[in-house]
Amino acid sequence: MLLKRNLLSLALAAGVLGLASCNKGGEFSKTKSGIEYKVFKSNGKSYDAREISADGDATYKERIGKIMALHVEYRTGKDSILFNSRKQQMGFPVRVPLDTVRAAQKGGLEEAISLLQPGDSAVFRFNVDTIFAKSFRQPVPPFMQKAGKTMTMYVKVAKVQTRDEAMADVQKMQGEQQQKMKEHADQQLKADDVKLQEYIKKNNLTAQKDPSGVYYVVTSAGTGPKPKAGQIVAVQYKGTLLENGKEFDSSAKGNGGKPIEFPIGVGQVIPGWDKAIPMLNKGSKAVLLIPSSLAYGQRGAGADIPADAILRFDVELVDVKNAPPQPAGQPGQPNAADIQRQIEEMQRQQQGK
Mean pLDDT by 10-residue block, N- to C-terminus, for the chain (353 residues)?
35 35 64 92 83 89 93 90 80 88 89 93 93 86 87 93 90 80 86 96 95 95 93 95 93 86 91 95 96 88 87 96 69 38 43 39
- Spatial separation of the C-alpha atoms in residues 197 and 266, rounded to whole Å: 28
Domains of the chain: 9-161 (3.10.50.40), 190-321 (3.10.50.40)
CA distances 26 to 23, 45, 49, 184, 281, Å, are 9, 19, 9, 41, 62
pLDDT at 154: 94
Strands 215-220 and 232-241: unpaired
Closest listed residue to residue 291, CA positions, set 203, 191, 141, 223:
191
Query: Taken in order 271, 272, 277, 279, is the CA torsion positive or negative?
Result: positive
Residue 288 pLDDT: 97
Backbone phi, psi, residue 15, to 5°: -130, 170
Among 325, 159, 172, 312, residue whose Cα is nearest residue 247: 312
Write down the pTM of the prediction.
Answer: 0.52
* CA-closest candidate to residue 15, choices 149, 138, 166: 166
Please report the pLDDT score of residue 26 as a whole number.
59
Distances in whole angstroms, Cα of residue 203 to Cα of each of 26, 193, 198, 217, 316? 54, 15, 9, 12, 20
Q: How far apart are CA 87 and CA 117, in angstroms?
A: 23
Max Cα distance, the chain (Å): 70
pLDDT for res 61: 93
Amino acid 164 reads D
